Structure formats: structure tokens, C-alpha cells
Amino acid sequence: LRLFVINAPAASLRQLAEALPDSLLINAGSAADELRTDLCLPNVLHTLPSRSMLADALGQFLSVRRWNRWLLITGPTAEDQAYAEALKRAAKRFGHKIVEEKTWSFDNDQRRSAQAEMPLFTQAREYDVVVVADERGDFGEYVPYHTWLPRPVVGTQGLTPTGWHKTVETYGAAQLQKRFEAHADRWMNDRDFAAWMGVRSLAAAVTKLGEADPQVIRQLSLSEELPLDGFKGRKLTFRPWNGQLRQPIPLVHPRGLVSNSPQDGFLHPSSELDTLGFDAPESRCRLREDQS
């Protein structure tokens, strides 16, 4: 057995990739950008969107809405900092301005004090939107409706970019949602979808090739000759330079789908999906030999 779908943090994924050099691993658990830009693990493909893809999807939508002045609130964890860095990159990329950045460092129970403390904490120069980087959910859920200015909240809470959500129902997705819920007795989330896409990509490759050799499957996947149906309205392919699965990103709130990125008007020489995340010139990775 040399084909694996992995739901693990970046450090564990790297250890597995080094321990299993003759295997092919599908990353369905880590959004770390460094896996797509610097580490460049040769035997790993990524079906979970990176943080930069999520941030760019949000940045494009905010450009369309002309919500260009951001108040950025970042949590204390390393993951929060990484998400914030992706947001800062998106802000620079799409012409937004971070009018102020604040770090959440309180440890009190926000269920009791949010109404009193959050308005004071969100006092800042005029802003159009509050952008939150709180992956663990320590405080972000208490930001909406408690801001000093009456503004929308986006990021890890509020309007959220994600690889998958229960509200995605078009292009046949409703059938996938119902099958998963019947099997798992819960809604499908982004990591579930990434794992499902990983299995689907391996099955499609084995069917097309008639064999299960990891290196041959890897070559086919990176050749862009393995278009996949992911119930997102477009054929999905792996980027040949870093093995990231190209895909539209839904923008959702807890009970509704608001939009999908890439947004209209954001163009690219080869694929509009490559406006999300690190494009080939921005990445050190060259997994396919002719990409060097």
C-alpha cells in the first residue's frame, strides 16, 4: 500500500513524506502555505486549499464590494499569525489598506464580557470591514454585532472563505452532501471534502492508467491531464509546480452561501483559478521537471 490520504499538521505530513519516499501522499489536513512555496515535498499533492487561497478568495470579494479599509484582529497562536500573514498578502495584492492591526491577548470569558469589551477593543480609524484571524475560535465568534462601528466581520468568523460548506448545493453538490450526511450523520466540512477529493483523484488516476504505481499517478496528476469533477462548477486540476488542487472557494456564513471566488474580472493568462494562492512565479516549488 503506497497511496495515502493524510489529515495531519504540516510537521507530521513532512515526517510522513520523508519516511515514505516511494509513496504518494494526498494532503487533506494542512493549509500551511510553506508546503506549497518552500518545502516542496516531491511525493505530496494537496487537495485542501492553502491559507493564501482562502485569503485571496476573500480579498477578491472585498474588492468587488469596495470594502478596502480593514481593521485586522489577530489571535495569539502560530496558526492565527499564519492566517494573518496570508490576509496581509491578499490586502497588498488586491489594493486594500489595513488601517490598524490589533492582537487579541485577553483570556477572559467573552460570553460574559463581549458586549462591554469588544466595542472598545474595535475602536480605530474609519474602517469598512473587520477582518479576523482566529482559527481556533477563541474570540472571533464574539466580534460580529459587537464592533465599535457597525461593520461586517469576515475572515475565520463572519463571512468565511472555505474549501467546502453545508450550504454548497449547486452543480450536483446537494447529492454529495446528502450521501455524506447519511453515512456520517453530520455535515461535510472542508477537510472531509479534501479527503474525498483525494480519494476521487486517486481512483480517477488508477482507472485511467490501469495501474496503481505512485510515481505514474503523480506524473499524470501533475500533467494537468486528469481533470476532476468536484461539484464546484469547473474541472479541477493539480498545479504542476506545487501539486495544489485548483478549485473555486466558497464564501459563506453559517447558514448561507454568499459568493464563490475567483470573482469576475480577476484574470490570469492560463487559469482564473490561479488568481487564488501562490502562482508559479511566486513559489520555489517545481514538482514537474519541465516547470524548472
> Tens digits of per-residue pLDDT, 171-183?
999 999 999 999 9
Average pLDDT over residues 262-291: 92
> What pLDDT, on the 0 to 100 scale, is given for residue 145?
95
Q: Residue 109: which pLDDT band, with cuts at 50, 70 and 90? A: low
Query: Is the predicted pLDDT of residue 90 greater than 60, yes or no?
Result: yes
- CA 70: distance to chain centroid? 20
> What pLDDT, on the 0 to 100 scale, is given for residue 69?
99
The share of the chain scoring above pLDDT 70, in percent, equals: 97
Query: Is the predicted pLDDT of residue 107 greater than 80, yes or no?
Result: no
- Please determine whether the domains at 3-49+166-291 and 53-161 fall in the same fold group of CATH: yes
The share of the chain scoring above pLDDT 90, in percent, equals: 93
Q: Which CATH class is domain 53-161?
A: alpha beta
> What pLDDT, on the 0 to 100 scale, is given for residue 122?
96
**How far is CA 270 from each of CA 94, 211, 215, 285, 290, rounded to the nearest angstrom?**
19, 30, 26, 18, 16
Query: Is the predicted pLDDT of residue 292 greater than 60, yes or no?
Result: no
Average pLDDT over residues 70-84: 98
Taking the C-alpha atoms of residue 87 and residue 52, their distance in angstroms, rounded to an integer, is 7
Query: Is the predicted pLDDT of residue 152 greater than 90, yes or no?
Result: yes
> What pLDDT, on the 0 to 100 scale, is given for residue 1?
79
Q: Residue 113: which pLDDT band, with cuts at 50, 70 and 90? A: confident
> What pLDDT, on the 0 to 100 scale, is given for residue 290?
66
Grid coordinates representing 137 are 475560535
Supply the pTM of this predicted model: 0.96
> What pLDDT, on the 0 to 100 scale, is given for residue 98?
99
Taking the C-alpha atoms of residue 47 and residue 194, their distance in angstroms, rounded to an integer, is 5
CB 274 within 8 A of CB 53: no
**Residues in contact with 26: Cβ distance below 8 Å, sequence separation at least 6, in sequence order:** 3, 4, 5, 6, 44, 45, 46, 47, 195, 198, 199, 201, 202
> What pLDDT, on the 0 to 100 scale, is given for residue 288?
83
Mean predicted lDDT score pLDDT of the chain: 96
Average pLDDT over residues 92-103: 98
Total number of residues shown for the chain: 292
Query: Is the predicted pLDDT of residue 82 greater than 80, yes or no?
Result: yes
Fold of 3-49+166-291: Rossmann fold (3.40.50)
Domain ranges of the chain: 3-49+166-291, 53-161
> What pLDDT, on the 0 to 100 scale, is given for residue 216?
98
Query: Is the predicted pLDDT of residue 291 greater than 90, yes or no?
Result: no
Q: What is the pLDDT of residues 118-129, one digit of tens each?
A: 999 999 999 999
Taking the C-alpha atoms of residue 285 and residue 16, their distance in angstroms, rounded to an integer, is 19
Q: Residue 17: which pLDDT band, with cuts at 50, 70 and 90? A: very high
Q: What is the pLDDT of residues 205-256, one digit of tens each?
A: 999 999 999 999 999 999 989 999 999 999 999 999 999 999 999 999 999 9
